[in-house]
Amino acid sequence: MVEVLRQRLNGCEPTIALILGSGLGDIAEAIEDASVIPFEDIPAFPRATVRGHAGRFVCGTLNASTVIALQGRLHLYEGHNPEMAGMPVRLMHELGARMLLVSNAAGGIRRTLVPGDFMLIRDHINLMWRSPLAGPAKDAESRFPDMSEPYDLDLSRRMRLAALKAGIPLAEGVYAGLLGPAYETPAEVRMLERLGADAVGMSTVPEVIVARALGMRVAGVSCITNVAAGMSGIPLNHAEVLETTERVRHRFIALVRAFLGSLKSDP
Ligand code: HPA
């Protein structure tokens, strides 16, 4: 599979992989000298089924970094097993990426978070109760990866600096990853709040676990697209999620650009 990717992406050798969450895929359009491969052109690769996810890999240059972007991820709620949800990270690592910037759309639990805010992911809680590492150990991966620093401290510092430079407020907090696809009940949101979660979503955790098992350095950003269920009295829907990401996508692009810039310029 990786050979097909390498060929179609013109020998792409990325330093950093970007996973673009629901409605946040537009940044891939800013990639220069882009080579693109849609999921359907990759043998045995699943299709993207969720609105707001294009379903392709894009490799090229963004702010002087060679990046590979996953425009449309594989969620467990689509019926993929956890290994499959982590598989794109394994592919991007095989192509050479040693850093991962993961993004997602999430519901805000902490009361100070409002739709349109960005939240640097400081840590996560795996409430999917599954691991993409379960099964035979893979040669390149740690069998028992340490998860005491899932989100790299230096990359997180760079993200904070990038936000400051770009004039984009950046909250910080803990992301709870749930299986979905139903949104949470108000009681579940109250439980998550007590567990220490600041935001909730249905992705990211399997990808970060695989990345850590491979020794990749990870930074994560959630786009708060809605207030979590039961906290505002407003019913949730995917259209609202996409409306919010559409409203703030320019800020997200500016944040990612500034972050990539800091990888090149700042010590
Ligand atoms: N819950 C779970 N996943 C989400 C949410 C939410 O409120 N918003 C966007 N993705």
State how far the Cα of 147 lies from the Cα of 80, in Å rounded to an integer: 23
Q: Reply yes or no on whether the pLDDT at 204 is more than 80.
A: yes
Q: Are 47 and 55 in contact (CB under 8 A)?
A: yes
Position 267 scores a pLDDT of 65
Rg (CA), the chain: 17
CATH number (domain holding residue 181): 3.40.50.1580
Mean pLDDT of 186-193: 97
How many angstroms does the Cα of residue 108 sit away from the middle of ligand 1? 8
What number of other Cβ atoms are within 10 A of residue 111's Cβ?
Answer: 11
Q: What is the pLDDT of residues 21-60, one digit of tens each?
A: 877 888 888 999 999 999 989 988 888 777 766 789 999 9
How many C-alpha atoms does 6 have within 13 Å on its Cβ side? 11
Q: Report which protein residue has its CA nearest ligand 1's atom 6.
A: 107
How many angstroms does the Cα of residue 183 sit away from the middle of ligand 1? 6
Q: Enumerate the active-site residues.
A: 22, 53, 75, 77-78, 105, 202-203, 226, 238
Q: Report which protein residue has its CA nearest ligand 1's atom 7.
A: 107
Is 3 exposed, middle or buried, given 0-12, 13-18 or 19+ CB atoms closer than 10 A?
exposed
The preferred substitution site among 50, 121, 202, 237 for testing ligand 1, maximizing ligand atoms within 8 Å of CB, is: 202
Q: Which atom of ligand 1 is nearest to the CA of 108?
A: 7
Q: Ligand 1: which residues within 6 Å by Cβ?
A: 105-107, 183-184, 200-202, 225-226, 228, 236, 241
What are the φ and ψ backbone dihedral angles of 97, each rounded to 5 degrees? -70, 130
Q: Report which protein residue has its CA nearest ligand 1's atom 3.
A: 201
Position 44 scores a pLDDT of 86
- Spell out the alpha helix ranges (H) of the chain: 2-8, 82-94, 153-166, 186-195, 205-213, 238-265
Q: Which atom of ligand 1 is nearest to the CA of 201?
A: 3
Position 51 scores a pLDDT of 73
Work out the angle at residue 98's Cα, subtended by the Cα atoms of residues 170 and 124, and round it to the nearest 5 degrees. 45
Q: Are 21 and 27 in contact (CB under 8 A)?
A: no
Compute CA distances 205 → 36, 132, 200, 222, 237, whole Å. Answer: 26, 9, 11, 12, 22
Q: Which atom of ligand 1 is nearest to the CA of 227?
A: 7
How many angstroms does the Cα of residue 19 sit away from the middle of ligand 1? 17
Least Cα distance to 73 among 119, 4, 22 occurs for 22
How many angstroms does the Cα of residue 267 sit away from the middle of ligand 1? 36
The preferred substitution site among 73, 128, 236 for testing ligand 1, maximizing ligand atoms within 8 Å of CB, is: 236
Residues whose CB is less than 8 angstroms from the CB of residue 81 and which lie 6 or more positions away in sequence, other chains included: none
Q: What is the pLDDT of residues 66-100, one digit of tens each?
A: 999 999 889 999 999 999 999 999 999 999 999 99
What number of other Cβ atoms are within 10 A of residue 252's Cβ?
Answer: 21
Position 34 scores a pLDDT of 93
Q: What is the pLDDT of residues 222-254, one digit of tens each?
A: 999 999 998 888 888 888 888 898 899 999 999
Position 266 scores a pLDDT of 67
- Per the structure, the complete domain to which residue 226 belongs is given by 2-263
Q: Report which protein residue has its CA nearest ligand 1's atom 10.
A: 106
Position 52 scores a pLDDT of 66
State how far the Cα of 34 lies from the Cα of 42, in Å rounded to an integer: 17
Domain count, the chain: 1
State how far the Cα of 238 lies from the Cα of 111, in Å rounded to an integer: 21
Q: Reply yes or no on whether the pLDDT at 217 is more than 90.
A: yes
The tokens for 142 are 């740690």
How many angstroms does the Cα of residue 44 sit away from the middle of ligand 1? 29
